[in-house]
Amino acid sequence: MQYLRSLLFTTLLALTVFPCGGWVILAAPFGRSASYHGAIWWVRINFWLARVLCGLDYEIVGTENIPDENSVVYLKHSSTWETMAEILVFPEQVWVLKRELYWLPYFGWALAALRPIGIDRGARSSAVKQVIRKGRERVRDGLWVMIFPEGTRVAPGATRRYGLSGALLAIDTKRKLVPVAHNAGDFWPRHSLLKRRGTIKLVVGPPIETAGRDAQEVNDLAKAWIDQTMHEISAAY
For the residues 92-108, what does the mean pLDDT come to?
A: 90
pTM: 0.94
Whole-angstrom distance, CA of residue 225 vs CA of residue 219:
10
Q: Which residues pair with 182 in a beta bridge?
A: 202
Whole-angstrom distance, CA of residue 237 vs CA of residue 235:
5
Q: How far is CA 228 from the centre of its chain?
A: 19
Query: Is beta strand 93-98 parallel, antiparallel or unpaired with respect to 56-61?
Result: unpaired
pLDDT of residue 235: 60
222 phi and psi, to 5 degrees? -65, -45
Q: To the nearest whole percent, how much of the chain has pLDDT over 90?
A: 82
Kindly report the average pLDDT of the chain as a whole number: 93
Res 123 pLDDT > 90 = no
CATH superfamily, region 56-236 = Glycerol-3-phosphate (1)-acyltransferase (3.40.1130.10)
Whole-angstrom distance, CA of residue 54 vs CA of residue 14:
16
Q: Are 115 and 141 in contact (CB under 8 A)?
A: no
Q: Are 144 and 73 in contact (CB under 8 A)?
A: yes
Among candidates 85, 83, 75, 142, which has minimal Cα distance to 107? 83
CA angle 137, 106, 37 (to 5 degrees): 55
pLDDT of residue 124: 66
What single DSSP character describes residue 90? S
Query: What tens digit of pLDDT does each residue of 151-181 get?
Result: 889 988 889 999 999 999 999 999 999 999 9
